[in-house]
Amino acid sequence: MATIVLGAVGAGIGSIFGNPMMGFSVGVSLAGMLFPPKMGAQDRGKLDDLRITGSGYGVMIPQCFGCARVGGNMLWSTDLVEHVTSREEGGKGGGGVTVNEYTYTVSCAMAICRGPIRGVRRIWAEDKLIYDVDSTPSSKHDITVYTGTEEQAVDPLMEAALGAGNVPAYRGIAYAVFEDLLLTDWGNRIPSMSFEVEAPGSSVADILRDLAEQVGIAESDTSFEEAEHRIIGFVIAQRTAARSALEPVLRVGATDLAEIDGMLIAIPRGCPEAATIAEDDLGAHVWSEGRGDPPTRLETKRGQDLELPGRLDLAYFRYDADVTKRTYEQTSQGAVRYTKGDVQEAHTVQAPLAMTDDDARQTAERLLYGEWLERTSHRYALGPKWLKLCPGSPVLLPVNGVNERCRIVGMDIGLFGELRFSAVRDDDVTGILDQSVVGGTPEAAGVPALDAVVPTLFYAWSGYELREEDGLRAGFYVAASGGDGWDGCAIYYSPDGGTTYLDAGNIFDRSVFGETASLLPDGVASNAWEDATTLDVTLDTTGTLESTSKTDVELTYDNAILVGEEVAGFTTAAAGGGGAYTLTTILRGRRDTPMTGHGIGEAFVLLSRAVARVSVDDSLVGQTVKVKCVSPGQTLGDVTAQDVVIRVPSHPYVTVGPNLDFSKDTNSQYVPMVF
């Protein structure tokens, strides 16, 4: 109204001077200065959707030993709670703007790991430290930590929100509750949480006892007290067979496991010899008239130097004695064999353990030394009196007239009691296990810079279960690798077409995969050798394929492969350059997988423990999920998803011998059929 009135007055004055339009414009401008318009309120930071997503149902509860850093999984949360603060900005004289600042809080609970634990030392939200037990106060946020005892009470905040009697105490699970957590620092979303856990167990023996109890082996049937090697931290984050979980612990801890007279025994490397074998005892065999000359007493094989690594890199999670510098980042330490000359082949060993730089360097030196020492192997046969020996036992073996220390790595009992042994050259490793070496800094060890992003190559599929326990739940497999500097990836899958992605664990080991370059013909019979069949493949990764024996393919599933939907095996791999190989002598249709319908360009995967299994809810059977593998430094948007149709689990539980019936409900006994 003021604008109209002053405009009219200005027009009247302007008409006196013969220019009413100019007077009107001046009047309107004067009205704008004297009576500025009121603007509507502006909202800043307001969200349209306050619902919470992202909890991974069915994710395995991690098991922690010693000190480790693990991620959390959502147990419960409220919706986002909106808070608004209004204030005036700018515009003196009544022409300012009302600004509504929106902030959001949430109350939630995060599962950490299996309990009981001694406690949680620190908590990170993304890369921001929000809780430190050594600080006073430990956090500016309201955080309650439950250590997972069998006596812990129900959390009162959760009970108030959900009602009395509707909240479990989560006994046996360590978890943390966050009350009214302000989300401003994380873009008004719940951040990814990780926890530094201090859990029971600090030696190989502690871990062995715990896992033995979990798989039903009575303490009276074990003897682990000799396994004294210290383990700073170890996490089992994925569902796997106990022996697979133990492999890095035993390797780093320089320990072998053996069964002797029904007892599971830990044998540390470097222990005293179990026996001295006389030369006359070698060559035991079943005699028959007219058989001819007796077998060779001792067969010795020495590997080629060119087949051995000149460098070994051990990847681990760095544990710093200074707690303020301890973030458990993945890094590596290397050992070099300088006598190898110009051969530069390197071998990378993944050790998902928390270690100091010095311990990791010492372990790398020992592992490299062991690979060169064990290039010399022996095969021999003994009589039944040597049944007291077992794999892992060191013995003195007569080699060229000299007693050589060897370690038994294989033992078979013949039809008439003769014992056939495989052994490798061993050492009491004095100075190797006990050496004092200093680890280099992560930069000196050749670790990529934190901002160096190495994309992940991956292949995901849902098919016939490769292990018995995989048949318990629907799911899919992932094989992953990358270029130089690749140090693993995080797996995510979306059950709703890409709207929401769920965290499905991590992969740290490289897989070998690619595609077929020739047609694999239809097979004739399952689990049958086809010596004349060949298959050309081209690898997408930096890995290699190697030859092995039929015995190793049959008994230990060496060189097990996936070709389309068929699980097969091969003995001979001839390299053609550029990642191309020709495979011959092929074992077809393992695990009764289909042997027909192959084509050129179908998926090829070398099946090993590096392949990850992801379990999903059974309601997704027949549905398509989107899978992404995200390298450190990448976001979900940087990766192209692969579509996987979830297959119905085949539940391959069968009777394989006396007292070896499989139980689907408890899965108490099974044979890892592929890896």
Highest mean pLDDT among 85-89, 318-322, 623-627, 653-657: 623-627
- Sorting pLDDT into bands at 50, 70 and 90, what band is 116? very high
Q: Which two tokens stand for residue 60?
A: 């395995």
Is 110 within 8 Å of 176 (Cβ atoms)? yes
CA atoms of 642 and 65, how far apart (whole Å): 35
pLDDT digits (tens, 9 = 90+) for 458-480: 999 999 888 777 888 899 999 99
> Is the model's pLDDT at 452 over the cut of 60?
no
Across 258-262, 278-282, 287-291, 619-623, least confident range: 287-291
How far is it, in rounded angstroms, from Cα 584 to Cα 518? Answer: 12
Query: How far is the C-alpha of 536 from the C-alpha of 546, rounded, in Å?
Result: 14
Burial 561-585 (b: 16+ CB within 10 A, else e): bbbbbbbbbbbbbeeeeebebbbbb
Q: What's the average model confidence in pLDDT over 337-343?
A: 55
Q: In the 8-state DSSP scheme, what is residue 673?
A: S
Per-residue pLDDT band for 493 (boundaries 50, 70, 90) equals very high
Q: Are strands 263-268 and 222-223 parallel, antiparallel or unpaired?
A: parallel
Question: Residue 291 pLDDT more than 50?
Answer: yes
Residue 649, SS3 per DSSP: coil
User: Is the confidence at residue 647, as pLDDT, over 90?
Assistant: yes
Q: How far apart are alpha carbons 408 and 378 in whole angstroms?
A: 9
Residue from 322, 72, 310 nearest 181 by CA: 72
Would you mind telling me the total number of residues written for the chain in this entry?
Answer: 675
Q: What is the mean pLDDT of residues 604-615?
A: 90
Contact assessment for residue 417 and residue 382, using Cβ atoms and an 8 Å cutoff: no
Q: What is the CA radius of gyration of the chain?
A: 33
Instruction: Provide the pLDDT confidence category of residue 127 given band limits of 50, 70 and 90.
Output: confident
Residue 674 has pLDDT above 90, yes or no: no
Concatenated DSSP letters of 559-594: TEEEETTEEEEEEEEEEEETTEEEEEEEEEEETT--
Higher pLDDT, 510 or 54: 510
Residue 655 identity (one-letter amino acid): T
Mean residue pLDDT of the chain comes to 82
Provide φ and ψ at 194, rounded to 5°: -135, 150
Residue 488's contacts (CB-CB under 8 Å, 6 or more residues apart) are 330, 480, 506, 507, 508, 509, 631, 632
For 131-169, how does the pLDDT look when each residue is reduced to its tens digit (9 = 90+)? 999 888 899 999 999 999 999 999 999 999 999 999 999
Which has the higher per-residue pLDDT, 100 or 449? Answer: 100
State the average pLDDT over residues 292-314.
79
Residues pairing with 9 in the sheet: none
**Is residue 38 scored above 60 in pLDDT?**
no
> Residue 453, SS3?
coil
**pLDDT for position 212:** 93
Q: What is the pLDDT of residues 201-221, one digit of tens each?
A: 789 999 999 999 999 999 999
Beta bridge partners of 181: 106
pLDDT in tens, 183-197: 988 888 888 899 999
